[in-house]
Amino acid sequence: MSKNPRHIAIIMDGNGRWAKKRGLSRIEGHKKGIARIEEITKAAVEQKIEVLTFYAFSLENWRRPSLEVQGLMLLLKKFLIEKRELLKEEDIRLISIGEREKLPKSVQKELNKTEELSKNNKGLILNISLSYGSRQEIIRAVRKIAEDAQRKKVKINKINERLFSKYLYTKNLPDPDLLIRTSGELRISNFLLWQLSYSELYFTPKFWPDFQKSDFLEAVDDFKKRNRRFGGLSAKKNN
């Protein structure tokens, strides 16, 4: 039988090209892009998804022109404040992964507050990846494990996949079952490299600001038709 994904991760890409096509500024594209998050989040709640992860800003994105970065930070801060109502209504818990100490203080403050306000909510976990890079996350984990080994908190022969996962930002989350990337780019761009080992990948040419509930449902339906083998043999007889 087809199985619902527990965790869906989305690389929201194509805001800049969406804007360019319309003769608008890149920031207009980001504005439109951030405004798409609510509809997709509500669709995920309806579909009884447990975790929805959005890649909103990568560590590499800090290299962009400072005006674009500043504009994005303002939009993200606004999002974190404005969506508190939605989180409450829909019983959604907001969390964030990434190097938050690199974010402007005012964004950190609103992020901490939104997390705190929603921490007891029991429905969907809405995970926003901010200032996130996967290789950097893995290096951070290695350093922490080495420190714990030095302090004799970890035995070297006890280091395995399960223990390693506990040192990642995603320690309390299941791995994504489905990764969606918009805008036609066919790459991972330093996102959840460890966690995506056996995720199903779904690419669509649509730019993120054009991605709607119907597109999301199409991706979920496509996922349900997939036959996941995890290196073994098919468990399904009819699919």
Residues that bind Mg ion (CB under 5 A): 13
Name the residue with the smallest CB distance to Mg ion. 13
Please state, in angstroms and rounded to a whole number, the distance separating the CA atoms of residues 2 and 194: 25
Question: Using CB atoms within 10 A of its CB, is residue 21 exposed (0-12), middle (13-18) or buried (19+)?
Answer: exposed
Among 7, 8, 9, 13, which residue interacts with ligand IPE (rule: CB under 6 A)?
A: 13
Contact 99, 131 (CB under 8 A): yes
Q: Are the beta carbons of 43 and 213 closer than 8 angstroms?
A: yes
Per partner kind, with CB cut-offs from 5 to 8 A, the member of ligand IPE, Mg ion, none near residue 12 is: ligand IPE
Min dist CB 101 to Mg ion, Å, is 24
Give the residue from 202, 46, 196 showing the smallest Cα distance to 124: 46
Q: Which of residues 151-190 bind ligand IPE (CB under 6 A)?
A: 183, 185, 187, 189
Q: Which is nearer to Mg ion, 174 or 184 (CB)?
A: 184
Does 12 engage in binding with ligand IPE (CB under 6 A)?
A: yes
For the sheet with 178-181, list strands across it.
Answer: 93-97, 125-132, 51-58, 7-11, 178-181, 200-203
Active site residue 61: yes
126: left (phi > 0), else alpha (psi -120 to 50), else beta?
Answer: beta
**Active site annotation includes 121:** no
71 binds, among ligand IPE, Mg ion, none (CB under 5 to 8 A by kind): none
User: Which residue of this chain has its Cβ atom nearest to ligand IPE in the complex?
Assistant: 16
Whether residue 200 contacts residue 2, with contact meaning beta carbons closer than 8 Å, is answered with no
| Angle, in degrees to the nearest 10, between helices 37-46 and 213-224 | 40
Contact between 107 and ligand IPE by CB under 6 A: the answer reads no
| Interaction of residue 57 with ligand IPE, rule CB under 6 A | yes
Q: Which of 58, 127, 170, 204 binds ligand IPE (CB under 6 A)?
A: 58
| Residues carrying an active site annotation | 13, 61
**Residues found near ligand IPE in the complex (CB under 6 A):** 11-17, 55-58, 61, 72, 183, 185, 187, 189
